Amino acid sequence: MVVTGLAGKITDTTITAKERKLLVGELKDTKSAILSTVKGLSDAQLNYKPAPDRWSIRECVYHITLAENNLWTILEEAMKNPPTPEKRNEVTVSDDALLKGITDRTEKRQAPETIRPDKSPWKNTQEALAAFKLSRGNHLKYAKTTTEDLRNHIITLPFGKVDAYQFMLFLAGHSKRHLLQIKEVKADPGFPKQ
């Protein structure tokens, strides 16, 4: 069989097996770590604040879940647009640097108004965790199966431009950042024993 009439070369623009493995691993690991870190905590522990201007574990969970859904909406909107390979050179951060940067807690950041814990639609931590599990499950399924051109869809973040694959790493890294915050709350000397 001979195929003729093809102009140019066929290129595979899906993420590599190595990239997919990293992304799926980050999404899975942060999901299980968040769930196990808050499992069995009492209301007193969930609501404990190390300082008046710091978040409780409950507030961290609300924020993680709000951000998960908000970030995914941004990704979905970006993926509705055609790929822009000509903008690849505008992405200046590496995957590793992105993951390291998002989890660096030496610099505190202010959450956007829309994803602050007081905007939570959930009545309690368990409802928020159920919503997180559902969202993250869907995001994992997408990460495992997508053949979309993630590397050529460019998204602007406050610190610069990333591609859609990196944006998904950012989503996982954001969860990891707040997982570290939860661990800081649990390590506080005033954290309730039960």
pLDDT at residue 10 in the model: 41
CA distance 168 to 186: 27
pTM of the model as a whole: 0.89
| The pLDDT value given to residue 9 | 41
Mean confidence (pLDDT) of the chain = 92
Q: Which CATH number is correct for 33-187, 1.10.490.10, 3.40.50.300, 3.30.390.30, 1.20.120.450? A: 1.20.120.450
Packing angle of the helix pair 125-145, 57-80 (nearest 10 deg): 30
How far are the Cα atoms of 63, 69, 77, 177, 188 from residue 119, in angstroms, in the given order?
A: 9, 13, 22, 20, 26
Per residue in 11-45, pLDDT tens?
A: 456 899 999 999 999 999 999 999 999 999 999 99
Nearest of 23, 20, 5, 11 to residue 172 by alpha carbon:
23
**Identity at 121, one-letter amino acid code:** P
Domain boundaries defined on the chain: 33-187
Interaxial angle between packed helices 95-103 and 17-38, expressed in degrees from 0 to 180 and rounded to the nearest 10: 10
Whether the CB-CB separation of 22 and 170 falls below 8 Å is answered with no
Neighbour tally for 41: CB within 10 Å: 20
Is residue 162 predicted with pLDDT exceeding 50? Answer: yes
Query: Is pLDDT at 161 greater than 90 in this prediction?
Result: yes
Each residue's pLDDT tens digit, 46-95: 999 999 999 999 999 999 999 999 999 999 999 999 999 999 999 999 99
